[in-house]
Amino acid sequence: MKFDDFWYVVALSTQLKTNTVLQRQVLNEWLVVFRGDDGKPVVLQDRCIHRNSRLSQGRVCQGKIQCPYHGWVYDRTGKVVAVPSEGENFKTNAARRSRKYDTKEQDGYIYVRLSPQPIEELAPFTMPFYHQSGWETVRVINRFRNNVTNCAENFIDIPHTASVHPGVFRKARQQKLEMTVERRNGSVFAEYHNETNNLGWFARFLNHTSQEIKHTDSFHMPNVTSVEYNMGKYRRLFITSQSIPETDDSTLVYTDITYNYGFWNKLARPFVRWTAQYIIHQDIVALGIQWEVIEKYGAHFTNTPADTIHVFVESIRDRISRGEDPRKLPDKKVCLEFWV
């Protein structure tokens, strides 16, 4: 199993209109994304085989992309179907083709898979309650200067919230939380107990009765995190993030905030978007600083019990980077406590 066996988001479905060309990078590979003449997404290597111009600088017409340099035209299979300088002598030639990658469209996202022969057919993560009745989704995209591991860990890290997001998310109260963390089948599940009203600005709205919150965090190989808050009927919230590795130090994160606030669903949208962006910007700063230090001194961490999730996430990603299957790691479950 390798990182390029998995599906990665390259665009929102709505970003990729007919005749639109997008330039992307996934796992250091340059990609051009457009829709073919059948309307389905096409991802090719962003390189013209003629003399190496970038196809993403070209134009799409009727589902084919034309290189901006000498005008070679590629169809949705990556095959060269016109060479202007050859005029009437042009003949198709099976060897003249760009590298083409598999794509999928699901839950309003366009995915690419770089591996031509994955070890097994893995499915993209199913986004919880996307487009289901009673649920709203606000989707935001942000670039982090850090790697996927540190981004994913941040999104399910409670101890940083009181210091990086003071007030808006949580206040430091030295409240004791109990946590159960489990590593199973390439995923990590964390369940919290004792959480009540420490939810910052929106505590009154989100949990007006101050009942115990059902809060679970999870990580799913290789790059998805999901946070769920359940504060009763019409107060349910999922924050699901797909961290896309552009390069070793650049991660593009697609975040879905999917919630069911009943009557307040539509009215809440601008508040949800604004708050999500506000919090994510604080994390972009924190993770940028972390990356500066890692670049200078390397990634050496000192863990506490509250960092158990991180250790599990790293063990899973580490297996994949060694070409192994993290689902073969032994199941582990620990109960611990920490203060926030």
The footprint of ligand FES (CB under 6 A) covers 48, 50-51, 53, 67, 69-72
Q: Near Fe ion by CB under 5 A, which window of 125-133, 171-179, 206-214, 282-290?
A: 282-290
136 is a contact residue toward Fe ion (CB under 5 A):
no
| Residue 70 interacting entry, from Fe ion, ligand FES, none, C-beta within 5 to 8 Å by type | ligand FES
Give the shortest CB-8-to-ligand FES separation in angstroms. Answer: 26
Choose the contact partner of 283 out of ligand FES, Fe ion, none; CB within 5 to 8 A by kind. Fe ion
Choice between 103 and 282, CB closer to Fe ion: 282
Which does residue 50 bind out of Fe ion, ligand FES, none, counting CB within 5 to 8 angstroms by kind? ligand FES
Partner from ligand FES, Fe ion, none binding residue 53, C-beta < 5-8 Å depending on class: ligand FES
- Residue 69, binding choice from Fe ion, ligand FES, none, Cβ under 5 to 8 Å by partner class: ligand FES
For the residues of 222-277, what is the DSSP string, one character each?
TTEEEEEEE-STT-EEEEEEEEEEEETTEEEEEEEEEEE-GGGHHHHHHHHHHHHH
Residue 51 — φ and ψ, nearest 5°? -135, 30
Residue 119 corresponds to which tokens in the numbers above? 């070890």
| Tokens linked to 333 | 């479950």
Place of tokens 């059902």: 214
Interface with Fe ion, residue 283, by CB under 5 A:
yes
- For residue 300, with 0-12 CB atoms within 10 Å meaning exposed, 13-18 middle and 19 or more buried, which class applies? exposed
Query: Are the C-beta atoms of 278 and 164 separated by less than 8 Å?
Result: no
In whole angstroms, give the CA distance from residue 150 to residue 302. Answer: 14
Task: Please say which residue, 64 or 236, places its beta carbon nearer to ligand FES.
Answer: 64
Dig out the tokens for 86 from the structure. 């050859």
**Min. distance of Cβ 73 from ligand FES in angstroms?**
9
Give the footprint of Fe ion on this chain (CB under 5 A): 283
